[in-house]
Amino acid sequence: MDADHVRLGRIADKLAAARVKPLPPKAFGVEAHGFKLDPPLPEAAVAEFEERHEVTLPAGYRLFITELGAGGAGPGYRMSRLGTSCCTYRRSGHLAKPSPYLPGPRYTGDWEQRYEDPPGPDRGFLLGTLEVADHGCSLSTKLIVTGPARGRLFNLDSDGWIGPYVVEDADFLSWYERWLDEAVAGYDVGFFGERLPLDEPELIAVLAEDPSPERRAQAGESLLMLPAISDRTRDALVGAMTSDPDPTVRAQCWGLLGPGRPNRTRELENPDAIADEIAHYARSRTPPDLGALSSLRKLSYTDVLPELGARHDLERRRKAAYQLSEPWNFWQKELPQDLLGEVADGLLSDADPILRKHGVGVVDWFDLTHFHPRLREMQETETDPWVQHKLTWCLDQQRTRIRDDFTAPVQQGNHDEPPF
């Protein structure tokens, strides 16, 4: 018997055992499926799907849905069925085109503009992938069917800045078995796959020693997903919060321990003062760590504007423009209108399409309506599809605002007739 069949049999035994035990209280979604799977799909149905989409499904996933179950028990609300996993709203050929996403740090910020087509009737979004788990809202897990990371899975928020993160499990069966083990053991399995598959001592070692700041921060988050939070875990997080060389790791550990965070062992003393110290450290770096300042809710336009002038470093300018164009980082009253106009003008004139798109975002978010004639002129000459999409969206939004202003009824006192 090959290794995949051995693992499949082990999963079947674990599911059967889980069904006769009390449901674990922290296991998101288990009340709905009770660790029960839907019947498997016939081989002929899967073969027809593969022929129609010109792909061969990854071996472990294919084995699971043809021999164990085609949906039901799984991460999120339930494991998605093959027939609804990718192609309800997709054009033919979607699965046969390669997915570009690779293992490593999460794709964030401008990931969608860099790797995906803009919205539209011919859009191919998340090519080469099918959905295997829905975690609620716009959070999901995708299985890569075609591309260099074929057989791996990634999590993402399709409507937010949380871009793809290829989870560490090597394939579908190892991912599924880990979910089952952790769900039964009392781990936090909401948005499953975000936690590094390590025990407490290993996670503490990663938090202290790993060369990747993204992985160190992820180890900190993973520690709070364990079934129990020990003093050793808290001490490790406090140590990273105060001494990690990367400001973003410090800021994220502060967020894990700070006000409003569940699963803490003890309240931080003087959390605001600690946040101020981390912000000072982030500003002392070259370049300043805008991501850390944003995490702390201490990002100021005085932090961002100098970075927009870093002509020798395009990525620094892109990061600064992204922060400026996102609504959760700034408020209109914080930014002088004359400076905003200069910033918008520079971004809209830039040769880089990502910066031009952020320029449109600045115009839209800060309601710089005097730039709208210029945006209409750009619509006639702009060649980048993402910038064109942002231009159309921004100007359509303005028309909607004007129409709403004119059509909103004037209320004169209370009455019982619609509109209320």
* Residue 307 maps to a domain: no
List 140's β-bridge partners, or say none.
Answer: 134, 156
Residue-level pLDDT at 262:
62
pLDDT tens-place string over residues 102-146? 999 999 989 999 999 998 888 889 999 999 999 999 999 999 999
Q: Are residues 250 and 161 in the same domain?
A: no
- Confirm if 362 and 368 have CB atoms less than 8 A apart: yes
Q: Among 277, 299, 321, give the residue marking a domain's end.
A: 299
Residue-level pLDDT at 286:
94
Could you say which DSSP state residue 287 is in?
Answer: S
* Residue 54 maps to a domain: yes
User: Who wins on pLDDT, 412 or 131?
Assistant: 131
Q: Among 185, 212, 246, give the residue marking a domain's end.
A: 185
Upper half-sphere CA count for residue 143 (Cβ side, 13 Å): 27
| Side-by-side strand order, sheet with 129-136 | 129-136, 139-144, 153-157, 165-166
List 153's β-bridge partners, or say none.
Answer: 143
Q: Are residues 45 and 112 in the same domain?
A: yes
pLDDT tens-place string over residues 364-394? 988 899 999 999 999 999 999 999 999 999 9
Region of poorest pLDDT, from 20-34, 223-237, 327-341 = 327-341
Domain range for 272 is: 195-299
Give the CATH number of the domain where residue 124 resides.
3.40.1580
* Residue 50 maps to a domain: yes
Q: Is the previous residue joined to 419 through a cis bond, with omega within 30 degrees of 0?
A: yes
Q: Are residues 26 and 139 in the same domain?
A: yes
Closest CA to 144 of 100, 194, 105: 100
Residue-level pLDDT at 420:
21
Residue 202 carries which side chain, given as an amino acid letter?
E
pLDDT band at 404 (very low <50, low <70, confident <90, very high): very low
Element (H, E) at 371: none
Residue-level pLDDT at 203:
98
* Residue 310 maps to a domain: no
Residue pointed to by tokens 């999460």: 106
Residue-level pLDDT at 403:
34
pLDDT tens-place string over residues 188-220? 999 999 999 999 999 999 999 999 999 999 999
Average pLDDT, the chain: 89
User: Who wins on pLDDT, 416 or 176?
Assistant: 176
User: Who wins on pLDDT, 324 or 245?
Assistant: 245
Which two tokens mark 66?
């043809």
Phi, psi (rounded to 5 degrees) for 401: -60, -45
Q: Are residues 176 and 207 in the same domain?
A: no
Q: Are residues 47 and 147 in the same domain?
A: yes
pLDDT band at 161 (very low <50, low <70, confident <90, very high): confident
* Residue 395 maps to a domain: yes
State how many domains the chain has. 3
Q: DSSP 3-state assignment of 259?
A: coil
User: Who wins on pLDDT, 238 or 406?
Assistant: 238
Q: Are residues 205 and 240 in the same domain?
A: yes
Q: Are residues 357 and 397 in the same domain?
A: yes
For residue 87, is pLDDT > 60?
no
Residue-level pLDDT at 207:
98
Q: Among 185, 208, 228, give the residue marking a domain's end.
A: 185
Q: Are residues 171 and 217 in the same domain?
A: no
Q: Are residues 27 and 132 in the same domain?
A: yes
User: Who wins on pLDDT, 91 or 69?
Assistant: 69
Q: Are residues 60 and 124 in the same domain?
A: yes
Q: Are residues 26 and 68 in the same domain?
A: yes
Q: Are residues 139 and 199 in the same domain?
A: no
For residue 88, is pLDDT > 60?
no
Residue-level pLDDT at 10:
98
The Cα 375–Cα 349 span in angstroms is 11
The Cα 115–Cα 270 span in angstroms is 42
SS (H, E, C) 29-81: CHHHHCCCECCCCCHHHHHHHHHHHCCCCCHHHHHHHHHCCCCECCCCCCECC
